[in-house]
Amino acid sequence: MKTQIMCEIWRGSYLESVHSGTAVICDKNGEISHQWGDPSALILPRSSAKMLQALPLIISGAEEKFSIGEDLLALACASHNAAEIHISRVLGWLSHLELDESDLRCGPQPPKDPHIKNQMRKKGQSPCQIHNNCSGKHAGFLSVARHLNAGPEYTDPNHPVQLMVMDVFQELTQNKVDGIVIDGCSAPNPAMPLSSLAQSMAWFSTAHNRNDRLSKAALKLRNAMVNYPELVAGEGRACTSLMKACDKKAILKTGAEGVFVAILPELEKGIALKVADGGTRASECAIASLLIQLGVLSPNHPTALAYTNSPILNWRKIETGVMKASKSFSIC
């Protein structure tokens, strides 16, 4: 796979490490305007594709039937920290569906939120499926399953819910789904060219220009994520921090193994990138760098600096190096 250096780690005057990867920016027509590395390289979108997976929640009619609010739509697209604002909403959502934690199929996961983690430790509680970072997405799947009167095993690739999801993937990425893996939360995840993922983000970015059912659903998800950035990830997370810091609207979503996507409605562009070694620190640095170069994020904003020019401190809080975006990772 042809890659491009995106992120550099400097210790003093020595280039200690580099992170390479591939990235694609697509315009409003889905055409590639900028690329780094091989845009045709097959990748697994992982959680960066949750917006696509959430579309059936709306187009199936489940959102309307169960009166699912905008905050829950954001949570359906989230990889959350399992803070109180996340888990209380998932519990309420399941209760509204007359379901409970045992109906989820995402598996238990320790919460990332330090307050909830410490609270549970003091009480001797074990993590459950509510704490899984994908529990919002799975509550969305369950909503569709209930609406369709389908069976409980909604993560099965042949379940009606997942068949709807794969239809969406194929339509929006214009790519035949012929390679499916099982994600960390047990939901199917299709392989696709990185360029196809970027094209789907560009499609989302222009949803306000169209009036079809799928585009209207995309616009609802876009607005939900913009209006509830803290539900998309949480305190201290790049998705939330960068969305709040941007001067122009930006819908951002990370995925495991170094994937990051951006939907830029005001520019009518979509971005997808993948770091070859799966490094999260590099994917966060790379997406922030592109947002700065596109004029969506101020280069001097503290959040921008935290991801693109971040000092490395040792245990005595002495600055020993810096992590920064590579100069060669440039739109110019």
pLDDT in tens, 36-61: 999 999 999 999 999 999 999 999 99
Pick from 231, 184, 211: nearest CA to 88: 231
For residue 300, the model assigns a pLDDT of: 95
Is residue 332 assigned to a domain?
no
- The whole domain housing 40 covers 4-325
Q: Looking at residues 174-181, what average pLDDT do you find?
A: 78
Say if 129 falls within a structural domain. Answer: yes
In a domain, 197, yes or no: yes
What is the tens place of the pLDDT at every residue in 205-258?
Answer: 999 999 999 999 999 999 999 999 999 999 999 999 999 999 999 999 999 999
pLDDT of residue 178: 66
Does 108 score more than 80 pLDDT?
A: yes
12 is a domain residue: yes
Give Cα 48 to chain centroid, integer Å. Answer: 3
pLDDT-derived band at 105 (thresholds 50, 70, 90) equals very high
Residue 86, pLDDT > 90, answer yes
Q: Is the pLDDT of residue 119 over 70?
A: yes
Angle between helices 135-148 and 50-59 (to 10 degrees): 30
Are 272 and 24 in contact by the 8 Å Cβ rule? The answer is: yes
222: domain CATH number is: 3.40.710
* Two structure tokens written together for 53: 């997976």
Residue 44 lies in a domain: yes
Backbone angles phi, psi at 188, to 5 degrees: -65, 145
- Region 92-103 average pLDDT: 98
In a domain, 331, yes or no: no
Q: Does residue 302 surpass a pLDDT of 70? A: yes
Q: What is the pTM of this model?
A: 0.96
Q: Is residue 55 part of a domain?
A: yes
Dist. CA 250–CA 91, nearest whole Å:
28
Looking at residue 332, its pLDDT comes to 75
- Report the domain count for the chain: 1
Residue 243 covered by a domain: yes
Task: Establish how many alpha carbons lie within 13 A of residue 273's alpha carbon, considering only the half-sphere containing its beta carbon.
Answer: 38
